[in-house]
Amino acid sequence: GLQEMLIQSHTGTIQLFPAIPNDWKNVSFNKLRAEGAFLVTAEKEEGKVERVDILSEKGGQLRLQNPFGTKDLVVEGATSHDWEGDVIVIETEPQQQITLKWKS
């Protein structure tokens, strides 16, 4: 049950903190598995997602519901990324590490 509060991916798109109560301002998790063989680490501070690290174990398309609320972010480790509405789409290679964070 707790993992479902932190991460969901059964729709083919990874959603972070989809069922966290509003008063949980500081939440993080380390290497939770999402569909598609992705290991996800995420950190939320003061109610705002600060950083997301994703390891693509086998490669393939990564679809992540934008947890930052803005497209003004940095995507490290990916040669390119696309947007489908508020979903970030990245084609990944096996063992590729992707980091998403706020622009400095």
Model pLDDT for residues 12-52, shown as the tens digit of each residue: 999 999 999 989 999 999 999 999 999 999 999 999 999 99
Whole-prediction pTM: 0.94
48-51 long-range contacts (CB < 8 A, ≥24 apart) are: 49/16, 49/17, 50/101, 50/102, 51/99, 51/100, 51/101
Q: Nearest Cα to 56, choosing from 80, 87, 35?
A: 35
pLDDT band (50, 70, 90) for residue 8: very high
User: Under a CB-based contact definition with an 8 Å cutoff, are residues 40 and 8 in contact?
Assistant: no
